[in-house]
Structure 1
């Protein structure tokens, strides 16, 4: 039996589901692109190839092994993108919540059913159909649950809007003792530099009291100020529009002082080191072309 436990983003990681890039399938057509960044690379002829993405994920896998993390991988589905396990489910405290994802991605959940089968069935929850929520929008910080959403009246027109107000309410009802705070995110179907696909595209805590943030990812300045007031401005690393685009806020913590980051994030990695973090650098630039990075390709199950 898996004793699920995740209360924040940075406690010592013990067990995780890491996605896979093997048998990733053909390059999507323009009509099949889920996000503007993938679309940009499809049109430019620079969409990532499988062997490069497999190598990048293997580098990440090696770092997790180095820290004695138990690693689960999805069962392989031929010609199917299974990199971004963060989207398909998430753990809060001891509860596993299945995401109501885009219908064409439902098979990704089936591929980790063997992991779900090791959980207490009473601790596995599937929200009702009207609830949209994905793991990239859910961020834990001990007593707090931060949730990215989109409150525009045109929500249904945005394939990039992944978590709705019903999703926020569902988490509030499920965890009445937590401080649940939603953040209204900037969305774009056509410009990746102005699209915060998930909350982890514009914010992520690292360590016990630090964070990475992109101010313009929030539709309301009050939402940005909420985090500034909570963390303290001096504890937040502010990234630029281009750094948001290359996904600097989508790193992944193995421990309160160990962060896995993309090797090209020079400014961020220098800051992390100056703040006392061990930075494990891996190549992940090809995977990032699909508007996802290190946090997106993990589904933590157990942290100390």
Structure 2
């Protein structure tokens, strides 16, 4: 059995699910895309090739090997995009919670049955159908669970609106000892630079008390201000609109002092090194064309 343990985003990682780019399928039609950035690359003829994405994910796998992390990968489904394992389930404390994702992604969840079935039954959580939630919107941070959400009336029309308030309430009921703090995100089906697909597209805690943040990703300024006050202005790396578009906040922590980051994030990586972090640089720019990066393609199972 797997003894799950996730209390925050940065404690020493011991086991993780890493998505796979194998048998990723042909370039999707615009109508099949889940986000505006993928649409942009489909129309431009620059949608990433499977062979390039396989190489990028191997780089991350090798970093995990270097640090002795146990890596689970999904069973391969023919012609199916299975890169973003964070979307399909997530772990908080000793519970694994199945995300109620877009219906046509249900088979991606079935491909991690070998992980799900290793968890004690009472710790496998399936939320009620009205609760929409994806792992990119959910961040355990010690006494808190930060959740990105969207409550506008146009929720049903927005393919980019992934987590609703029903899910926020359900998480509070599941974890009564935690403070569940939700943040309204800015959404756009058409403009990737105005779209925070998930909370981890505009915010991520790192180390013990620092964070990467993008102000325009938040719909309500006082919610952004709350995070600035919580971490302290001097501990925040504020990213620009272009940097958010390039997924600067979507790095991944192996521990409180080791971070995997895209090698092209020169401004961020320089700052991280100045702050005393070890930065493991990888190529991930092809994967980022689908509006997801390192955090999106990993689902931590056990941290110390």
TM-score range relative to shorter protein: over 0.9
Deviation string, structure 1 residues 51-70 (Cα, Å, up to 9, x no partner): 00000000010001100000
Q: What's the counterpart of residue 246 of structure 2?
A: 246
Q: What's the counterpart of residue 97 of structure 1?
A: 97
Q: For residue 148 of structure 2, give the secondary structure of its aligned residue in structure 1.
A: strand
Question: What is the root-mean-square deviation of aligned Cα atoms in Å?
Answer: 0.4
- How far is 1:117 from its partner? 1.0
* Alpha-carbon distance in structure 1 between the residues aligned to 2:36 and 2:6: 31
- How far is 1:152 from its partner? 1.0
Deviation string, structure 1 residues 188-231 (Cα, Å, up to 9, x no partner): 00000010000000000001000000001000001101101110
- How far is 1:153 from its partner? 1.2
Q: How many residues align?
A: 304
* Alpha-carbon distance in structure 2 between the residues aligned to 1:252 and 1:99: 20
Please, which runs of 5 or more residues in structure 2 have no aligned partner?
A: none
* Alpha-carbon distance in structure 1 between the residues aligned to 2:229 and 2:179: 15
Q: What's the counterpart of residue 63 of structure 2?
A: 63
Q: What's the counterpart of residue 212 of structure 1?
A: 212
* Alpha-carbon distance in structure 1 between the residues aligned to 2:176 and 2:222: 23
- How far is 1:177 from its partner? 1.0
* Alpha-carbon distance in structure 1 between the residues aligned to 2:174 and 2:119: 18
Deviation string, structure 1 residues 132-185 (Cα, Å, up to 9, x no partner): 000000011100100000121111110100000101111011111101100000
Q: What's the TM-score, normalizing by structure 1?
A: 1.00
* Alpha-carbon distance in structure 2 between the residues aligned to 1:151 and 1:267: 34
Moved over 2 A (4+): none
| Alignment pair present for 1:203 and 2:198 | no
* Alpha-carbon distance in structure 1 between the residues aligned to 2:217 and 2:114: 36
Query: What does 1:152-231 align with in structure 2 at a 5 Å threshold?
Result: 152-231=152-231
* Alpha-carbon distance in structure 2 between the residues aligned to 1:250 and 1:134: 15
Q: For residue 255 of structure 1, give the secondary structure of its aligned residue in structure 2.
A: coil
Q: What's the TM-score, normalizing by structure 2?
A: 1.00
| Alignment pair present for 1:294 and 2:304 | no
| Alignment pair present for 1:143 and 2:143 | yes
* Alpha-carbon distance in structure 1 between the residues aligned to 2:267 and 2:259: 14
* Alpha-carbon distance in structure 1 between the residues aligned to 2:234 and 2:98: 36
Deviation string, structure 1 residues 5-58 (Cα, Å, up to 9, x no partner): 000000000000000000000110011111000000000000000000000000
Please, which runs of 5 or more residues in structure 1 have no aligned partner?
A: none
